[in-house]
Structure 1
C-alpha cells in the first residue's frame, strides 16, 4: 500500500518562505532561507518560490556574487493591503465594492478607518 504525502494548501510554501524573510534582519540567500525553514525542501524548490515571490513583487532581490539575496518588500499588514488593492483594481465597479466593504466593517474597524481618513491615526 502506497503512503500518500500530505499536500500543502495553495500558497502555504510561499507563506512559509515569506515568514522566514520577515523574521530576517538582512537579505537572505536561498541557502539561508532553506536552512531556516522547518521543512526540508530542495534548494531548487526554495529558489523557485523566491523567484515567484519576486515576480509577484512581494520580495525584492539584490545580486550577491553569482546568486541573489532576497528580502520581503512589505510586512504582513502591507502584504494584506497590497492584496486588497489588487482585488479592487480588478473590479469593474470599485465604488460598489468599497461601499459594501465599509458597510460590513465592525464598529471598531469603522472607527479606526474614520480616524485614518481624518489623519488622526496612522497605519501600523
Structure 2
C-alpha cells in the first residue's frame, strides 16, 4: 500500500511538537523513559536533547524537522508495518522518515531491546 499525495502533505505539515507528547506518553505508559525516547530520536536524526527542545519550541513541521536531521545510515534497516503502511514500500522520502520514527517509538513501547531498536550491527 503506497501513500497518497494528500497523506504525504498532511504528514509534511504536521508539527513535531504536536506529536512529541504522544510519543512520550506511549513509551512511558509501557515503562520506558523519556531518556530512552530521546536516545532513539538521536539515533535516527542526530538531534541532541538541546536541539530537540529547540525544534519543539520553534514548532517546526515534520518537513523542517527532517530537513534539518542527519538520518542515520542504518535507517534503511527499519522495516515492517506502521500505521497500515509497509515502510519499505513508502516512496515519499519524508513520509518514510516519519514512519521510521513512528516504528522506532513503537518498538521502544513494545519493550524491544535498545540494541535491536538502534539496529546495532555488532
Flag whether TM exceeds 0.5 (same fold): no
TM-score (norm 1): 0.26
Larger Rg: 1
* Structure showing greater relative contact order (alpha-carbon pairs closer than 8 Å, 6 or more residues apart): 2
Structure holding more helix per residue: 2
* TM-score normalised per structure 2: 0.26
**Structure 1 or 2: more strand by fraction:** 1
